[in-house]
Amino acid sequence: MSAWARTFGPAFVRQRAMSAALVSLAAALVFFVPAPQAALAASRGVSSISAGGEHACAIINGIGYCWGEDFNGELGNGTSTNSGVPVAIDSGGALAGKVLTQISSGYEHTCALDAAGAAYCWGLNSYGQLGDGTTTSTTVPVAVDTNGVLAGKTLTQITSGVVATCALDSAGAAFCWGFNAYGQIGDGEKSPFSTVPVAVDTNGVLAGKTLTQIMSGYEETCALDSAGAAYCWGRDSYGQLGDGSNANSSVPVAVNSTGALAGRALTQIAVSWYHACAVDAVGTAFCWGRDSYGQLGDGSVTDSNVPEAVDAGGVLAGKALTQVVAGAFDTCALDSAGAAYCWGYDHYGELGDASTTSSSVPVAVDTGGALAGKTLTQITIGDYHTCAVDAAGAAYCWGRDTVGELGDDGLGDDGFGGRSSVPVLVGL
């Protein structure tokens, strides 16, 4: 059972001695906030943020911080204690001397890349999703195995799904590891899982293709190539592979491009539990797969096994979207002006519009509080919470907060059982 069902009580820790430089920046803070909050508040400058199942992580100045659920060690700080404020990932062991550049939070595991293009993972490892050749879970980072297909490779992107992980290298090739019951590691095999990376099959639709982005979801994976075409593999029970069928595939299949995507060049893709979305070069969003709560954003709650255009009227009228992210039952996006919009399930306020009313069309995330005057540059979704970063590098989250996943120590809760329906500032 997931740790959200257990009672969470944030623990305050004693402030350690700080360097003179940090004291000058944060002297007013250290006596009023826990040490992890002070560290995040003093630094700012988040370069990468990722929300997972019930936790989130960020990189600041090459150092990783996580907050929220830690039942399986997904916070990476050597404990299994939930935290309502950011805590530093253990920087000894495998990460000693490493500068982190990208982080990805999965359901109950987390992975990151360093500046040299090496990968590290931590947390739950029941299906080998940590990629270190074992099924042993760990509360501190371990290096992903580089003795096989990753030998000599420089990784440029990593993505943690529910129980699988994938990465791209500098040549645009894809590699995956972890759970494979539905073919989501994409190597054409029927093996239940792999504890080390395997190469995604390139004998079919990916022959001669250079991949530019990859995303791992629940039991499916999707990727984009340099020409803006999309491919998916794994489970297809709700049409989340987007190829017009509902047939699982252990090798990549091309997402249908004869309908809503005809003539479109995609620039970014996202996949979650049972749906996927993408944005094209002119800023239009498309989604496909499960639509039980309106997460496809087309004004209906009807599943689709081919891409459908997200409703571009209403709050999106005249907007050019630059990023889309998919949660368990909801979707969010950013526009070119740095404003956020969400649609789908909203029981915990994860749409961020100051309500808990689900919507099958996009709604604007509230900008009357913490986001007033802010320009957002990144957005990410976990199961039932959403986080974003602004141009100054400050992080904000909204939605469910039962195990500290908003990162504000519960200060932004609206009193309805651990949630906030508007953005709150992380770590301060």
Provide the pLDDT for residue 200: 98
178: left (phi over 0), alpha (psi -120 to 50) or beta: left
Query: Which pLDDT tens digit goes with each residue over 113-125?
Result: 999 999 999 999 9
3, 20 Cβ separation under 8 angstroms = no
End-to-end CA separation in angstroms for the chain: 30
Residues 35-72: pLDDT tens digits? 333 334 434 678 899 999 999 999 999 999 999 999 99
Domains and their CATH numbers in the chain = 10-43 (no CATH), 48-425 (2.130.10.30)
Separation between Cα atoms, residue 241 and residue 243, nearest integer Å: 6
Read off the tokens for 201.
């099959």
- Out of 15-19, 97-101, 116-120, 344-348, least confident range: 15-19
Q: Which residues of 74-93 are buried (b: 16+ CB within 10 A; e: fewer)?
A: bbbbbebbbbbbbbbbbbee
* pLDDT (mean) for 253-258: 97
| Dist. CA 272–CA 270, nearest whole Å | 7
**Which pair of structure tokens corresponds to residue 6?**
């257990």
Cα–Cα distance, 85 to 404 (Å, whole number):
7
As beta bridge partners, residue 260 has none
- Kindly report the pTM of this predicted structure: 0.89
